[in-house]
Structure 1
Amino acid sequence: MYKILLCCTSGLTTSMLVDAMKKEAAKQTLDVMVWAVAISAIELSWADADCILIASQNTSDLEKVKSIVKTSIPVEEINDIDFSKMDGKAVLNRAIELIVS
């Protein structure tokens, strides 16, 4: 199972992307757990994740999140275009690339 955590300012915009990613995972018959949290809750939520993807509007928090997780799991900004399109397939595939690499 791939465990993917998305975060943004409040967790609301990434929740829509979570839904798109879950639909894509079902199409690909992938076993995934995807959830979204507010950036302020990252310290309480990251330990169960295999990777963290941060909404493009929160790039200023990227280094903060990396300092919290150290090198335990990959942390990356969601591609701006994929985020604006709510492209669940592209974001899911990128998360899996990060996890398996």
Structure 2
Amino acid sequence: MKKIVLLCASGMSTSMLVKKMQEAAAAADYECSIDAFSATDAATKANDADCILLGPQIRFQKNKIAEQVPGVPVDAIDMRMYGRMDGKAALEFARKLMND
């Protein structure tokens, strides 16, 4: 089972997108775990993730976070996708990032 982690400034705003992504995963019959945390927890909460998605507001931290979790693909969620809380598109983005 794949582990997808979303990171943002506090872990709060991405929690809404997590719910939408979980609904999209259930609809697609795709087994995965999806959680949201603060970017400050990257090294401890996301070190075993299959991919990490960053909230647009912390996209500037991409390289720093990638250094904290070697071997884990990290990328920022598109601002429009995030603003629309498009769980299906975010899940597809995560799957592409994982080559899944």
Please indicate the TM-score interval, normalised by the length of the shorter structure: over 0.9
1:97 counterpart = 2:89: no
Cα RMSD of the aligned pairs, angstroms, is: 1.0
Paired with 2:68 and 2:94, the residues of 1 have a C-alpha distance of 19
Q: Distance in 2 between matches of 1:75 and 1:47?
A: 11
Residue pairs, 1:32-51, within 5 angstroms: 32-51=32-51
Give 1:58's aligned residue: 58
**Separation of aligned partners in 1, 2:56 and 2:47:** 22
How far off is 1:59 after superposition? 1.3
**What is the rounded CA distance, in whole Å, between the counterparts of 2:7 and 2:92 in structure 1?**
17
Q: Which amino acid aligns with 2:89?
A: A
1:2-21 correspondence to structure 2 within 5 Å: 2-21=2-21
- 1:19-64 deviation per Cα after TM superposition (whole angstroms, max 9, x unaligned): 0000000000000100000011111111221000000000121111
| TM-score, normalised via structure 2 length | 0.95
Where structure 1 has 5 or more consecutive residues not aligned to the other structure, the ranges are: none
The whole-number CA distance in structure 1 between the counterparts of 2:47 and 2:58 is 20
In structure 1, the residue matched to 2:80 is 81
Query: What letter is aligned with 2:57?
Result: Q
- 1:40, 1:50 → 2: CA distance? 18
Consecutive unaligned residues in structure 2, runs of 5 or more: none
TM-score (norm 1): 0.94
Identity, in percent, stands at 36
